[in-house]
Structure 1
Amino acid sequence: MRPAAPTNPWFPTRQPNPNARLRVFCFPFAGGGASVYTGWGAALPAGVELISVQLPGRERRIMEPPFRQIPPLLDALEPVLAPLLDKPFIFFGYSMGTRVALALAQRWKVRGAPMPLGMVMAAAGAPHRPRDSRDDLDDPAFIELLRKYEGTPAEVFAHKELLDMVLPVLRADFALADAVLPALPVSCPISVFGAHEDPHVPLAEPRALARADHR
C-alpha cells in the first residue's frame, strides 16, 4: 500500500484532484480557518479542485504565531502556492481574505507572474480606501467589538483562558483586514458580493470595489 502523502499545513483539507482543470483558492475571514470551507468541494463540478488556505494561529496551526502584516504573510505563502499554479486558478476571499487575495494578485501583476482567471470577493470594500484601524483598541474595547460582530462563539467569552488564547490571533487578523492596499489594477475580472443585511460592510463599500478599475 502506498503511504499517504504528508499534509501541507497551509492546505490541511485539500483533496488533490489529478483531473482538475481549475483550482479555487479560498482565503478565510478574520478568525476563520480552512475548515470554514469544508463541504464546498463536494458542491463544485468534478473538474474543479478547491484549496482552502490555512493561516498560522488557528485550528491545527494554533501554536504558530499569526501574521500581523500582509507582506511577510505573502512571503511565506507564495512558495507553498507556487507548485499548485500549474493549472488555471481563481481566488475567493471573504472579508479579511479579500485583502490577502488581492495583495497576492497585485504582487504577481507587478512581477508578470501567472494571474488568476478571476477573483470573487465577499463582504469587503475597496481596499485602497483608508479605514479606521482597530489595532489601538484596548482589550475590553476589542472584546466588545468582537461581540458586535457575532462571529465568536459565546463559550470563548465565557472562559478567560480560551479568550486569552484567541485574542492575539483575532487582533492580528483585524490588522490584516485593516491594511490599506495600493490602487493597483490586477488585470483580471473581479466579482463582488455584499448584502443589504450586513451591518459591518454597507453595500456602498462592495459597490466601490466593483466600480474600481482593476483592468
Structure 2
Amino acid sequence: MAWPISRRSGPTCGRSPCVARWTPPSPDEGSQLTATASYPAPPGAAGGWLLPPRRGEVPRLRLFCWPYAGLGASLFVPWSRAAPEGVGIYGIQAPGRESRIAEPPLSALPHMIERLTAALVAEPDLFEAPYALLGCSFGAIAAFELARALPRAGLPAPTALIVFACRPPHRVQPVGPFSALSDDELVGRLQRDYGGVPDELREQRELLRLFLPPLRADLAAMERYAPPPANAALACPVFARGGADDAQVRGEVLAEWVRWGAPGSDVRGLAGGHFLVRDDPRAALAETLRTLGYRLS
C-alpha cells in the first residue's frame, strides 16, 4: 500500500531533487540479498561507531543506518552485501552491543549524538561523497538528531533522511518508564506491543542478558527525548516508511514526518509490521534504494 501524502516542490519522477547529485547505477548492477548476517564483521570505522561496507570500493553515495532500539549494526550486513555498486552501507554501532559489547551503553540521546558527531568529524573522508541517513524506530529519531548535529559541526548536510516505523519527533510518546519492570515484564510488554522479540531470544537467558542492557539504555533515551522547536525542519527531504500492520505507528501519524523535511518529502506504506526492516530486509532495502534513485537487482 502507499499513503499518497507528500510535500513536493514539483515533479520528481519518484526521486527527490536532493538525491539527483549522483548518478544511479545501471539496472543490471547489484547483487542478491542474503538472508542472514554473519559476525564477527570487519573492524569498525569512526572509533568503532560505524560498521563499514563489505566491499572495499569508494562509494558514490554513503548511507549511514541506525538500527532499532537494542540492536546493532549487523542488522545492515545483508544490505551491505546486496547494495549495488556505488552505494556504501554503514551500520551505526552504538556502545554496549556486538563489537562494542564491553562498553557501557549510553542512555542519553544528546550524549550519543555528541560522541558520534565527534567521531565523524575526525573522519572527513567519509563526507567527500554525498550521504544519506536512515533509522529504524528509535534509530529514526537518533538519525534525525544526527542530521541536525552534523551541519552544526561543520560537516555537509545529508541529502536525505529515511525513517522506518517511527513517530515524528513532535509525536513521540513516552514508552516507559521501563526502569521498574523486571526483565520478564519488559520482554513481555515489548512482545505484546510490538511483537518483535524472537522466541529463541526469550528462551535463552544468556543471550537475553546481553541484549537487555543496550535495549534499556535506548528506551531510557527515548523516555527523556525532547523534540526540537517546530521551526527546526531539516534542509533535506524526509522519506517516511511504515508497515501497514504496525499498530504503534499508524499511517496518519507517520505522515506528519513531512513537516520536518524539505520539499520533496513523502510517506509510503509497505507490507509488514513494526520490524519490517529486520523481517523482510530485501523489501526494505529495495524501497530504500528506490527512494534514493537506485535499483536492487
Q: TM-score, normalised by structure 1?
A: 0.86
Offset at residue 85 of structure 1 (A): 1.8
8 Å contact from structure 2 (residues 109, 222) kept in 1? no
- Counterpart residue identity of residue 163, structure 1: L
| Correspondence for 1:126 | 168
8 Å contact from structure 1 (residues 134, 142) kept in 2? no
Q: Does 1:85 align with 2:127?
A: yes
Count residues with an aligned counterpart.
210
CA–CA distance in structure 2, aligned partners of residues 77 and 177 of structure 1: 17
Q: Does 1:41 align with 2:58?
A: no
Stretches of structure 1 that go unaligned for 5 or more consecutive residues are: none
CA–CA distance in structure 2, aligned partners of residues 80 and 16 of structure 1: 22
Match among 172, 176, 183 for residue 221 of structure 2: 176
Give secondary structure in 1 for the equivalent of 2:170.
Answer: coil
Match among 197, 201, 205 for residue 245 of structure 2: 197
Offset at residue 57 of structure 1 (A): 1.2
Of 18-27 and 78-87, more deviation after overlay is shown by 78-87
CA–CA distance in structure 1, aligned partners of residues 85 and 116 of structure 2: 26
Offset at residue 81 of structure 1 (A): 2.0
Q: Which structure ranks higher in relative contact order (CA pairs < 8 Å, sequence separation ≥ 6)?
A: 2
| Correspondence for 2:208 | 163
- Counterpart residue identity of residue 119, structure 2: V
Offset at residue 37 of structure 1 (A): 0.9
CA–CA distance in structure 1, aligned partners of residues 83 and 205 of structure 2: 40
CA–CA distance in structure 2, aligned partners of residues 213 and 162 of structure 1: 37
**1:75-105, Cα deviation, whole Å (9 max, x unpaired):** 2111322311222100011111111111011
Identify if the C-alpha distance between structure 1 residues 6 and 156 changes in structure 2 by more than 3 Å, giving closer, same or farther: closer
Task: Trace 1:2-21 onto structure 2 (pairs within 5 A).
Answer: 7-8=44-45, 9-15=48-54, 17-21=56-60
Offset at residue 58 of structure 1 (A): 1.2
Q: Does 1:102 align with 2:150?
A: no
| Correspondence for 2:95 | 56
Give secondary structure in 1 for the equivalent of 2:51.
Answer: coil
Q: Does 1:74 align with 2:113?
A: yes
CA–CA distance in structure 2, aligned partners of residues 185 and 195 of structure 1: 24
Identify if the C-alpha distance between structure 1 residues 13 and 129 changes in structure 2 by more than 3 Å, giving closer, same or farther: same
8 Å contact from structure 2 (residues 233, 260) kept in 1? yes
Of 148-157 and 158-167, more deviation after overlay is shown by 158-167
Stretches of structure 2 that go unaligned for 5 or more consecutive residues are: 1-41, 263-297
CA–CA distance in structure 2, aligned partners of residues 109 and 58 of structure 1: 27
Percent of residue pairs identical: 32
**1:118-155, Cα deviation, whole Å (9 max, x unpaired):** 11111011112351231344225423212222322323
CA–CA distance in structure 1, aligned partners of residues 241 and 135 of structure 2: 10
Offset at residue 158 of structure 1 (A): 2.8
**1:35-73, Cα deviation, whole Å (9 max, x unpaired):** 111121233221111111111111121221111111110
8 Å contact from structure 2 (residues 96, 102) kept in 1? yes
CA–CA distance in structure 1, aligned partners of residues 59 and 114 of structure 2: 27
| Correspondence for 2:177 | 135
Q: Does 1:214 align with 2:214?
A: no
Q: Does 1:30 align with 2:69?
A: yes
